[in-house]
Amino acid sequence: MTNRVASAKTVDFRWRWFYKIGGAAALIAGILLLIGMISLIASVLKTSTISGWFSLFQNNWLIVVFKLHAEFSGIQADLLHGLNLLDIVFLVLVGFICLSLSTVFSKASKTWLLIAFVLSLIGIILFIATQTAGRSTVMLVVLIISLVMLRNKIFSKVTMYAGILASVFLFVGDLSVGVHSNIITILFGVGYVLLITWFFLIAKSLFRLESGVVKGWAQ
């Protein structure tokens, strides 16, 4: 395993407290998606005691989209309509992650991160206003962040590519609701797992920055 060395000049440690907030937001977002996945698996295995406890997390819009592609019985597209508190919380967490990361990158990259933050705000406003649209901005935000990372030596390549692939797979699946394809279903499922991984990797990186660690980012 090789290590990447980032210059301390690229990181402003005056924002350490904000790195911690961003790391916590990423960790919570990853946990929420993980619980949703566990809930889905439990429901498929018909583990009533587990699925009952996790049922509150089973209807985040990504899980619903997956169920629609996989043609789960009794699942209708109507579930994607209406306000879902869990989805709003998720959008807010993504916004915090954008703000936190904007303090890590250089001026040029910071502009893109601020654009991603604005997109996350637009997503929240659209979702509240339409109760349907807006949530897909998450995939665009993740894609922007991951592409920005390609020009930076702080975050690992695994983090970058996990974010890029997750956003592409999930975005394609989100846009193709109603089109039944085993390939799309599989790619969407893979994208969901990659998104969970991406959030946990972002959380790990931001917590390491908050603790003052700049060197030794594993590829």
Q: State how far the Cα of 34 lies from the Cα of 53, in Å rounded to an integer.
A: 14
pLDDT digits (tens, 9 = 90+) for 89-117: 999 999 999 988 888 876 667 788 889 99
Percent of the chain with pLDDT over 90: 42
Domain ranges of the chain: 13-214
Q: Across the chain, what does the average pLDDT equal?
A: 82
Per-residue pLDDT for 169 more than 90? yes
Cβ(123)–Cβ(144) below 8 Å: no
Sign of CA dihedral 184, 28, 23, 132: positive
Give the mean pLDDT of 58-74: 86
DSSP state of 45: T
pLDDT digits (tens, 9 = 90+) for 191-217: 999 999 999 999 999 998 877 654 443
Q: How far is CA 85 from CA 9, 40, 120, 140, 151, in A?
A: 40, 19, 16, 21, 35
- Choose between 16 and 213: higher pLDDT: 16
pTM for the model stands at 0.85
pLDDT digits (tens, 9 = 90+) for 117-126: 999 999 999 9
Q: State how far the Cα of 177 lies from the Cα of 173, in Å rounded to an integer.
A: 6
CA angle, residues 16, 20, 24, in degrees to nearest 5: 165
Burial environment of residue 161 by CB neighbours within 10 A (0 to 12, 13 to 18, 19 or more): middle
**Closest by CA position to 188, among listed 77, 37, 57, 73:** 37
pLDDT band (50, 70, 90) for residue 14: low
